Structure 1
């Protein structure tokens, strides 16, 4: 049986990035680095450097995902289209005197190695997973030491098997902090919960990358729309005194169309990515199965109020850009039609002028032909006169008389010859 060459690869794709097992207590650190293709390869080499220094197995060159236990920390490395993520997980317990988030999972890895990670840090998160029994849950826990209570967001998640608290603010170390109070649940389910929280933050930041693009486009779109209005006004004016007006307007419109399409090509990919990332955020929020607790906003409610308007701004800019491109296209078609009609009118006038010239040429030709008949007749009659003058002693016919009698005969024969030549030329032209 013949196997498709990609069957194994496609089958394993759904198992390519399995969820990590997360116990309780646990600490998770997550870094997302925005990279270009060259930096993505450097990130892979940077990972290999760390593993090689620790004499650990190296991932394959085509690997998009790799996990490795490095001492007390499990490192999860993932390579995506435009970013690379690093997840550090440790189950070491903090001492009773150690404050939460004082020493996080990523701190167990060399600071010098972390400082040299290729790319630009876009997203950074710490997640503290604790058994629910460690903190009383009949009221809002006191997280004032590590979270902004005024911006606290929390909810029941995973069908009531855990509670999540965060302020979605950037702490002094540059990380956003999540606290998960976990009831009795499997390590795999707890790992899925943690990964969903991390993915929500990752895709939220990636979708927001488009917001500055949308804001930068607004002044340009305003200017282009004003230019289009000016061009439409020029098209609507009738100025027969300026025959080059339509051509100049077409040049302006062509330049505007080029600018609009260039802007569209430069930003369309970003807008498309924003829609995809925002859809993933909504999916991951839905998978949390949130329920409101203690009168706090849920993560979904917070994002609906804060993230949705930003995404609507991006969607509006994308629609406005698309609409402008379509309007420019319609305007171009209208102006081209007008220019073509004007050119047809010019061509019609040119053809009429050519017809008049041909008619005049025909009349002139007919006049010349008439003169030619007279000239040929004159010369032929003169020859006849000379001929009869020479033959007068034998023919006894006066030369002048013979010459006069031959004139109508010669003229008729010459005219018939010209007519026959015209008929042959016409038949030859029709045959072509």
Structure 2
């Protein structure tokens, strides 16, 4: 078929190949598999990922194995007597080893010896979980015997979860406890006829249940800490709202307290948002992986799904409850702050209105005072103007037989009128200048 003469969208091939980059393992029982999940204690999502690649490369160099591609986030290949599968996730990395040549003891940690001790000590992070998964071929009649005889010996009977999966092609069992060597144990009893690809999918899902269960549980300590902080902040918020409702506190002080509460809530939200969000996503993966196992009950034993509902879901509900209470508290603090700001604004508006009324009264008083001053000014100016006019017109009035007293009486009214008109004209001109252009 001829290739289209059309340019490819950026990363088209890389994104398409990503769907096939992590194939399920193809397994033949008996097989042992071990898994390590390693995570930086702080800011794991923003870690230097080159350190993870360098740590993987150091392990491969011990066995003379090929290196991963630059910037790779997954790798598969032979590692001595085992097969290694390495994956880099958002917060953590996983190392999985598969081997069919390791002893007869069911949960021997011999496979872990392929990880050198000094190499483990130099890992860029801390161990989140380590798991041993033992796959044993078991015909139907042997499978029933092993379920009754061996599972209660290998696992804690009080915590044991066991079920038939994938159309009863296999039995899976685990107690999700950490044994004396520091590992979680999972057993898979597989019919000899099971498809190798199907068995690989079962094993991959069991490992993912263990890893994502462990990762989601990291949120539980933060949830408990947040719950304690929320209870304390809730009391402070209630006190502030009570003071606001009863009017026993000063509004400025109450607003300051509410802003401090809001800031503390925002700090809690920002520091826990990623952990709670990640826990929610991991829990969804755990539920989905259990669902696709298609569990069938074995002689009244609890299923993986039942174990999770009884012992795992309450922890996740605690995390969701802590997040919900934090969100509710943030909304309450915001409402209280908005209400108090509204009260402060109304009070300020009332004060501003009173100030305006006082300014109006002062302006009216100033206007009356100004009119009084203007009247006095007219009188004063007129007095001096009349004297000046009388002095200036005296020589002209004497030939006409008008003495200075009568002359002053005759010119007083016209002079006062002229002065009054002049003052009004000056005041009108000043008012037009103050009003600005166009007035």
Task: Quickly name the TM-score band, shorter chain normalised.
Answer: over 0.9
1:133-212 matched pairs, under 5 angstroms: 133=139, 136-139=142-145, 140-143=147-150, 144-183=152-191, 184-212=193-221
Residue pair 2:378, 2:420 contacting (<8 A) in 1 also: yes
Q: Which residue of 2 aligns with 1:236?
A: 245
Q: Which residue of 2 aligns with 1:10?
A: 15
SS at match of 2:29: coil
Q: Which residue of 2 aligns with 1:311?
A: 316
SS at match of 1:322: helix
Q: TM-score, normalised by structure 1?
A: 0.94
Q: TM-score, normalised by structure 2?
A: 0.92
Change (3 A) 1:179 1:376: same
User: What do residues 150-199 of structure 1 show as CA deviations (whole Å, max 9, x unaligned)?
Assistant: 43221001121111122221111111111111121222211111010000
Residue pair 2:397, 2:407 contacting (<8 A) in 1 also: no
Q: Residues of 1 paired with 2:264 and 2:258: CA distance?
A: 10
Q: Residues of 2 paired with 1:61 and 1:169: CA distance?
A: 37
Shift of 1:388: 2.6
Residue pair 1:24, 1:91 contacting (<8 A) in 2 also: yes
Q: Which residue of 1 aligns with 2:359?
A: 354
Which of residues 365, 377, 402 is equivalent to 2:407? 402
4+ aligned runs moved over 6 Å, structure 1: none
Shift of 1:416: 1.6
Residue pair 1:39, 1:119 contacting (<8 A) in 2 also: no
User: What do residues 59-115 of structure 1 show as CA deviations (whole Å, max 9, x unaligned)?
Assistant: 123100011201210011111111110000011163xxx421224422234343234
CA RMSD of aligned residues (A): 1.9
1:72-87 matched pairs, under 5 angstroms: 72-87=81-96
User: What do residues 187-222 of structure 1 show as CA deviations (whole Å, max 9, x unaligned)?
Assistant: 221111101000001111111111111111122111
User: What do residues 122-160 of structure 1 show as CA deviations (whole Å, max 9, x unaligned)?
Assistant: 111111111113971234342255322343221001121
Which of residues 366, 381, 385 is equivalent to 2:386? 381
Shift of 1:421: 2.8
Q: Residues of 2 paired with 1:279 and 1:360: CA distance?
A: 76
Shift of 1:340: 0.4
SS at match of 1:137: helix
Gaps of 5+ in 1: none
Matched length = 425
1:262 equivalenced with 2:267 (yes/no): yes
Q: Which residue of 2 aligns with 1:124?
A: 130
